Structure 1
């Protein structure tokens, strides 16, 4: 009989411990939710986040290429890439700049974009050149040091020939934006 009472007391203690553990975890969850809500209610936090986002947007916009038309943008990219390849002493180079099909047929997508993004257009470039490691490194360093952003979508470096697929984002607005 005493053994049954001891077992029942131990069972009750284990149940009580489980109940207290559940209550503790609910309390911690509630504290976390309250802390998040208090942070969201602070207006200075939102203002700080907005100013950080605005600074990031300005930084991203300053890294964009700028032109008034897609034709001028293609010519500028072709000239810049040709100059870069010449500086890197790349032999047998070819540069082809095109506007992606998705950008040509994107009138419906453009209608859904915010006004601040409607003037952005991608251009793709396919670059091929005879290279060794030093030429490839010089080309990549030139792209890295460029004042505007260049995205390397594909790189196929074989011992004698390198092929690169690049994306350039242009702001095709008529007026310069800071």
Structure 2
């Protein structure tokens, strides 16, 4: 079943296929399918032997900052739980700047940057600071502008109707014959 955010992700993948770098941050509450939607979206790129890079060692932020400059064409940069990157007090804004450089460098295109984020972090990173306050997420806010897609925490009427339609034609699992797999022998 496809929802609106799936179409946005599919468009980003299509642009990557066409040679254009893109970033999409999927924002939604816990267990809404953010990571799964990203994973499903990149499968066509995996079939074309794109690389998948998930920076995490020694910390997510340190790994991203130290190796973003080495990311080359046909790479998916996987920033699951993106607050681990953008929210890092020492490196967050530098990571946002490095991602901007990556996305705008034609010699490194195409790359696709995908991230997931909970709504409270999305609000924090995209909010304008109060007058006279330090703007701690200026680069991050600039990077994410127009690149966030929200996953609703509930299915809308159209999605529920589609699920009902699919369920009406499905064979109940208790009626599907069991088959011994090769590994079960």
Superposition TM-score tier, normalisation by shorter sequence: under 0.3
Higher helix share: 1
- TM-score, with structure 2 as normaliser: 0.21
Which structure features the higher share of strand residues?
1
Return the TM-score normalized by structure 1: 0.22
RCO higher in structure (CA 8 A, sep ≥6): 2
